[in-house]
Structure 1
Amino acid sequence: MKVIDPAERLLKSLGVTDPKEIDLEDIAFDQGAEVRYCNLHGCEADILGFRDTAIISVDRSRGHRRKRFSIAHELGHWHYHRGKKLQCRVEEYQPKHKQLAERKANGYAASLLMPHYLIKPRARDHRKLTFNVIEQFAAEFDTSLSATAIRLVEADIWPCMLICHTRQGRKWFTQAPMFHDRWFPQSEMDAETTAFDVVFGQSVGDRLPQIIGADAWFDRTEARQYEILEQSKKTGDGEALIILTITDDRMIEEVPERSGFGRW
């Protein structure tokens, strides 16, 4: 039996049919939580609850979209972890996290801000995922670029992978389920990639996806026979997001067409 996402179930119960209707303070009130903005030190947000009521405190110095994610994150704790006081380092949404409680709260926040039942129908109108598309969705759903990019990649509409790279190496990555997991990106960035000058040079990124050999990103010997699309965007000093998109269906086959391929 398919498990219904609790955040999406809540939105549907409230009759939300458009991203502009996702009013987090109203949703919090419906769930018995009051949102307060104040000066916090040591964390970006926390929640204190007793029985069926709670107070969510959010650092007023943060940006608008950051505050929205913080509220949604704390509502995730309210759903999963009632009875506990948690002070959260509400870090930017990432596909992996060391702590189970924070990962669950992040997942709830992503579903609350960008529910699949609103994301997927809109996503299918686009032939491929680009940063222009991501920026459109970020504006419509009022979410950060990286959180929106992760949500769209994991929606499994396109055969793509999202990587966050810094000068110290790969920070994290996630991929569409259809992007076969035998393709694991290298931890260090190849100088042949277009993203190299974004991370280590002055470029702000690619306006359009660029064709590049798959072996610039993957160390499997079979990568030599494929080309992929790469698009990068600068997100900070020495940091970039990169979208890799498969253009050859053989890359997403369960078993490579030719035998003898493997990792070095």
Structure 2
Amino acid sequence: ALAIFLGVAAGVCFMGLQANLAGFQNRMGAFYFILTFFGFSTLSSMDVFIQERALFLKETGAAYYGAWSYYLAKASLDLVSLRIVPAILFSSIFYYLMGLNPPADRFLLFGSTLVLYNVAAGSLSILLSIVSKTVGIANLLATVVLLVMVLFGGFLLNVQTMPAGVAWIQWLSLFKYAFEVLMTNELSGMLMTFDAQGYASIPVYGEVYLNNIGMSADHQMRDVICLVGITIGLHLTSYILLWSQVPRLPRVRLAEQMPSSGVPASPMRV
């Protein structure tokens, strides 16, 4: 419901795009807004692993189920209900209501990128919730990490002017990859009017705008692959960290308590 409402509200706010400087600004602002919103909305995943940690350790220690089945169930539920479905609903409403590039392939790339970004940001939140002891610490860590990603994402700071000592941080930013795909998907091949006040209007292609902020449509495949790779890496790391927390001692005790008759003893509740 929230995704539908936001899609309508944001679409109305940015409705009536023009192919000029104001339209360029509105497109950048719209993409920045939706990526920031979906990024910080993943904070809703923080309490899942933290609140159930004691129960998880108790039941996995007693061999009721394994870390993999627990992680798969929790991650899948978060993935489908909170990451994929909302992003699809939002994209379907927002894209054409705002008046973005109409071809179907452009819309599909927009929606797919938003889904990938939302899934990647959700996997980051899951990782931080697993390594944090409290929800407060997890929220603080996630907020700081997301803000750094936004800072080096290409909207607030031009990637071409970043100091060499910190420029490498941009390659860790989920925001950068998604933002570049959305921008190049919208502006590539579009003829726009450079209509600065007090100067003659000049027709230019969207690539001119993109080049000035350090973006290129040639990077789209790289950006999508990076989003997929980072997502897989975050989930693998999250599972390994969760698995490492499972106590091993109770299983040893179970083996030691096997009766001499060979009949298995009832599992101990730890």
TM category (shorter chain) comes to under 0.3
With the length of structure 2 as denominator, give the TM-score of the two structures: 0.27
Name the structure, 1 or 2, with higher relative contact order (CA <8 Å, separation 6+). Answer: 2
Greater percentage in strand: 1
Q: Which structure: larger Rg? A: 2
